[in-house]
Amino acid sequence: MLNIVNKSPLDRGSLDSCLQAADGGAILLIEDGVYGATKGSVGEAKLKAAGGKFKLYALGADAEARGIADRMMDGVTLVDYGGFVDLVAEYKTCQSWL
């Protein structure tokens, strides 16, 4: 499944809930969710602790908008909106963790 997370992990528990419940697949961070993948952050620690259970992506346009595209953690692939579409097409279902 494609799990879409749009909120920062220190603002909402959605990333936590996603990491605990989701059965693998991919996580795409969009909107404020991209903060979850910044180096040295609590989000990075949580994503690393998931230990490769998920393929990790972040929407590049959202990271750039927030001035954090240069400090995304290793292991997260930045995608554009076209890449977002491809991810939705690739996975049979998607869930938005709002």
Name the residue with tokens 């959605």.
Answer: 14
Report 70-89 residues binding other proteins (CB under 8 A). Answer: 80-82, 84-86, 88-89
Q: Is 96 in the site for other proteins (CB under 8 A)?
A: yes
CA 71 – CA 32 distance, rounded (Å): 15
Encoded tokens for 37: 């993948």
Exactly one of 21, 39, 48, 71 binds other proteins (CB under 8 A); that residue is: 21
Q: How far is the CB of 74 from other proteins (least distance, A)?
A: 25
Neighbour-count burial for 13-49, b at 16+ CB within 10 Å, e otherwise: ebbeebbeebeebbbbbbbbbbbbbbeebebbebbee
For other proteins, which is the closer residue by CB, 74 or 92? 92
Q: Which of the ranges 13-21, 34-42, 43-51, 68-76 carries the binding residues for other proteins, by CB under 8 A?
A: 13-21
Q: Which of 5, 22, 26, 37 binds other proteins (CB under 8 A)?
A: 22
